[in-house]
Structure 1
Amino acid sequence: MKNNIKAVALAAAVFCAMPYAQAANANEEATKRHLAALLAPGKDPKLAELTMFFTLMPKGGDLHHHYSGAIYAEQYLEWVDKEGFCVNKNSYTIEKAKPAGVCVSGQDVMNDNTLLANLLQRWSDKDFYNHSAIQSPPDRQFFDTFAYFGPVSSTNTADGLQRLKQRAIQENLSYIETIFEIAPIAQDLDFDKKATSGGVTEADFAALSAKLDQDQAFQGWIGAYLQNVKTAGAGIDDANFTLRYQPFALRFLSPSQVYSQIVSSFKLASSSPQIVGVNIVGQESVNVSMRDYALHMQMFKYLKSNYPQVKLALHAGELALGMVPPEGLTFHIKEAIDVAGASRIGHGMDIAHESNPLAIMKKMRDQKIAVEVNLSSNDFILGIKDQAHPVTLFRKYGVPYVLSTDDAGVSRNNLSGEYVLYAARYQPDYAEVKKLSYDSIRYSFLADVDKQRLLKSLDGKFAKFEADIAGAAASGKR
């Protein structure tokens, strides 16, 4: 024990005698060696130490983050009681009426281990592979979870954002760009009929936009959305954490409903500095999503021409061979970039099947269009992992990418866990994972002043992290 104390004291004395830059470089090299030892070729990755390493490591941002999917089921159960609802213990749905004999409180669910375990199998991916015989296929299991907690997912948003903030700080995450709430929506049956029969033109887009401008209920919803962002997000940003928002459209709705949501998303992003981009979500492989994909990209193109300052982070290519006919895998990423004008791509999983993938990846590299990589959900929903995952292509061909969580509450994961998966599967060196952290700020949609602030903060956080790792490594060798 005394020898260890002396060794650490000696190391500290030597450190103090070094010029600052030299000491910082020494700490970075020591951290690099430490991670390499955890990922030594030919040996099983040291997962416990990797978990600790990446939990401690500063992580810039989580850029593909669904608010409702990030909240854990246990928190939703609290809101069930707060809103005066109950849980049907037969169907595990949230009920507003409280049918006698089958309706229990959220606290009752929490106090009944069997009931809670059964609920978590439906409200999340937990224990799926232990009980998959009684569940839907993985993709349906994942997307079906949102209907269970949907009745309370848009309530208590201030509480939800604060919980997400505290969880982020706990794992040394500085920034979240959350896909927050569904964008305001309206329907126009004439537009839908024309879109599904003969197609629509830019003149039709313009006419529906003008109609929406005169829709007082629609405009009121936009105002309420802005107020919710302002109220729910009050007090979130501070020296340790920053949060920004993306409204979204649901791609499996009717054409006019999708268009109205994209319109309101652009208006929202133009009206608040807290709303930094727009998105489109929903299972990409279902019939309407596939049928209307090209139409949706034309909608984005038209509105992007009217709102050129608004940035797009579009879910594109979240598909695998066999989910849809082969031709359905050939164009989604390309059209998201070339037609819609996306600045980031969510998932990008079908890149190897796209027509001329090398040209697409070159364009993404040259134009710095980053991919939001979601390892856990790609594995669960699509069954794609390890060397089959296209992150191997992005690495090889220089396409920028970042690691993100997707739906941490549904997947029961966090961003540190995604870094652990990445390191264990692909054996990156320390420079690569450090760059991933910085890139998650560089490719964010933050205003430049905020981006520079967070990058500077990362410098200090990494200096401390590397000093801690170097000190622990030196102590461990004594």
Structure 2
Amino acid sequence: MTSFRKRSVVLFVLLSSFVFSQAKPAPAAASGEARTDRYMQSIRGNIPLLTEFLQEMPKGGDLHYHLSGGVYAETMIGWAAEGKLCVTTQTLELVKPPCNEGAGNVPAESALSNPVLYRQMVDAWSMRNWQEGHESGHDHFFDTFEKFGLSNDGHTGDMLAEAARRAAANHELYQELMLTADGGRVSEVGKHVGWIEDFKTMRETLLANGLLDAVATGSKNIAEAEQQRDAALQCTGAKPEPACKITQRFIYQVLRGLSKQVVFAQILAGFEMASRDPHVVGFNLVMPEDYYVPMRDYDLHMRIIDFLKPLYPKVHISLHAGELAPGLVPPDGLSFHIREAVELGHADRIGHGVDVMEEDNALDLVKEMAKRKVMVEINLTSNDVILGIRGKDHPLATYMKYGVPVALSTDDEGVSRSDLSMEYMRGATDQGLTYAQLKTMARTSLEHAFVSGESLWRDEHFARVKQCAADRVAPEKLSEGCQSYLRANQKAMLQWELEKQFGAFESRW
């Protein structure tokens, strides 16, 4: 953390001449916002004070969160010990028992009494102590998942609880968590059916061979995990944890590195599950974008989505696109992914979008994204450690300059050893963002969340809808019209709560 903060200060000095633009604040910005903005400016050079300020700042939602990468290594070591798993001392990868110490497989439980093994496992399962030069951040990051993966089996509810606890500690209200909840059943259906060139026939054959049963399994697994989460947090008990107030929704994740028949089946499952389960609010395509199959089949995946979207017009889509950098793939691989995600993939949001200025007709694309209001989920820590993109090399300033909606998110906070407050710190130090800009991003996160209901805002300048236009953002009783509107629209309810939090926060400075 210390080295990160030192580097952040240096980067901020280098970037201090940057002038960022962002969507305009509300027409009559509250004096509290201006006062708070001035306070943040006054403490920019004092990292401890800035850390405390950003930790306490309300942040709205985290829209780009891989549940499998959200848990810290220390927690997973405990689960591995409880599950009597074994760890290979050479690679630090978990394997199933029985353990064979002669072959280098020792009980994971031994790490609890062996400080050397314990710290080796934490470092191998996360970006802690990673340094450039020995291996790329990209490879170290993505290799972690194979090493700790077994520890998560049977712990989805516990993972949700940990994510909610951290969200509450960071003054968030809402999370969208990516997971593949069907236990591999959708993949089995896809493998059984095989590949059919005609998309219409492929869909019909999958549906006729048990895909909806697999989808139902996924929804059942999510419901059970939510019950486990609530039990862990004592949400129905006399002393519920603060994390019980966090609203969690789910993004069905498609494993785009698998065979095309499995990817088709999972995309279809994403559409179906998001149509049937109110807690599954969309789908996304995951796995490293630069791997062979995702690069080879990228256009195919977008065409599959383009075919299915008219059949499920209300389903929301967020797509990983542009998590690439020059040299990671050949130049032509940088030239079209974001555009195809927007135009063929019908993306409501883009995850990462780092290589946008390498795209063909890049500025036209950025302007199109602004016009369509396609939000970009910005993952500053992840982009730094995986791609080496930071500071003035990051496209955040360009997106903001042209009015593309943006919000900060964590990506894989456990693997990255980060949280949303640290992302806000990077926003302030690495990107020179002001309080007003960070506040806009927090509001934007809820505005572009896939949670149900209409917005509190009637325009991009955060003017309220008529039902609540005259109400004060305070604890006192709301008008009947505003109360009715908020009760009927969960998104607006979350946004109203965020405004209340901002009012309380800004009164401190």
TM range (shorter): 0.7 to 0.9
2:409/2:423 contact within 8 Å kept: yes
- Aligned to 1:228, which of 218, 221, 224? 221
Structure 2: unaligned runs, 5 residues or longer: 1-28, 236-242, 454-488
Aligned to 2:89: 89
Aligned-residue offset at 1:421: 0.5
Cα gap change, 1:309 to 1:324, in 2 (>3 Å) = same
- Aligned to 1:403, which of 394, 400, 408? 408
Aligned-residue offset at 1:429: 2.2
Aligned-residue offset at 1:239: 7.2
1:154/1:181 contact within 8 Å kept: no
In the alignment, does 2:211 pair up with 1:211? no
Aligned-residue offset at 1:107: 3.8
Aligned to 1:118: 120
1:47/1:420 contact within 8 Å kept: no
SS of 1:168's partner is: helix
Q: Which amino acid aligns with 2:498?
A: L
Aligned-residue offset at 1:110: 3.1
Normalising by structure 2, what TM-score?
0.80
Cα deviations by residue, 1:177-209 (Å, 9 ceiling, x for unpaired): 0112266313358854x7xxxxx4xxx112121
Structure 1 stretch displaced more, 230-239 or 263-272: 230-239
In the alignment, does 2:162 pair up with 1:167? no
In the alignment, does 2:503 pair up with 1:463? yes
Q: Which amino acid aligns with 1:175?
A: Y
Distance (whole Å) between structure 2 residues aligned to residue 246 and residue 210 of structure 1: 24
Structure 1: unaligned runs, 5 residues or longer: 1-23, 40-44, 195-199, 471-478
Q: Which amino acid aligns with 2:389?
A: I
Aligned to 1:178: 177
Aligned to 2:111: 109
Aligned to 1:451: 491
Aligned to 1:339: 344
SS of 1:355's partner is: coil
Cα deviations by residue, 1:22-79 (Å, 9 ceiling, x for unpaired): xx9443332111111123xxxxx32222211111001100000000100111111222
Distance (whole Å) between structure 1 residues aligned to residue 171 and residue 81 of structure 2: 31
Aligned to 2:131: 129
1:182/1:249 contact within 8 Å kept: no
Distance (whole Å) between structure 2 residues aligned to residue 187 and residue 458 of structure 1: 42
SS of 1:455's partner is: helix
Distance (whole Å) between structure 2 residues aligned to residue 182 and residue 287 of structure 1: 25
Aligned to 2:56: 56
Aligned-residue offset at 1:340: 1.2
1:79/1:155 contact within 8 Å kept: no
Q: Where does structure 1 differ by over 6 angstroms across 4 or more consecutive aligned residues?
A: 236-239
Cα gap change, 1:299 to 1:239, in 2 (>3 Å) = same
Aligned-residue offset at 1:327: 1.0
Q: Which amino acid aligns with 1:67?
A: L
Cα gap change, 1:111 to 1:48, in 2 (>3 Å) = farther
Cα gap change, 1:93 to 1:434, in 2 (>3 Å) = same
Cα gap change, 1:239 to 1:153, in 2 (>3 Å) = closer
Aligned-residue offset at 1:160: 1.3
Cα deviations by residue, 1:378-435 (Å, 9 ceiling, x for unpaired): 0111111000001121111111111000000110000000000010122222211111
Aligned to 2:486: none
Aligned to 1:32: 37
Aligned residues: 428
SS of 1:340's partner is: coil
Aligned-residue offset at 1:103: 3.8
Distance (whole Å) between structure 1 residues aligned to residue 222 and residue 193 of structure 2: 33
Cα deviations by residue, 1:253-304 (Å, 9 ceiling, x for unpaired): 1111111111111111111110001000111112211110000000111111
2:193/2:209 contact within 8 Å kept: no
SS of 1:380's partner is: helix
Distance (whole Å) between structure 2 residues aligned to residue 327 and residue 377 of structure 1: 23
Cα deviations by residue, 1:345-367 (Å, 9 ceiling, x for unpaired): 00001110111111111111111
2:264/2:304 contact within 8 Å kept: yes
Aligned to 1:475: none
SS of 1:207's partner is: helix
Aligned-residue offset at 1:99: 2.5
Distance (whole Å) between structure 2 residues aligned to residue 303 and residue 422 of structure 1: 37
Q: Which has the larger radius of gyration?
A: 1
Q: Which amino acid aligns with 2:497?
A: S
1:314/1:344 contact within 8 Å kept: yes
Distance (whole Å) between structure 1 residues aligned to residue 94 and residue 300 of structure 2: 35
Q: Which amino acid aligns with 2:39?
A: H
Distance (whole Å) between structure 1 residues aligned to residue 370 and residue 208 of structure 2: 42
Distance (whole Å) between structure 1 residues aligned to residue 130 and residue 158 of structure 2: 29
Distance (whole Å) between structure 1 residues aligned to residue 360 and residue 114 of structure 2: 52
Distance (whole Å) between structure 2 residues aligned to residue 239 and residue 177 of structure 1: 15
SS of 1:71's partner is: coil
Distance (whole Å) between structure 2 residues aligned to residue 155 and residue 141 of structure 1: 25
Structure 1 stretch displaced more, 247-256 or 342-351: 247-256
Q: Which amino acid aligns with 1:72?
A: Y
Cα deviations by residue, 1:222-267 (Å, 9 ceiling, x for unpaired): 2221011111113489873100001111111111111111111111
1:405/1:418 contact within 8 Å kept: yes
In the alignment, does 2:444 pair up with 1:439? yes
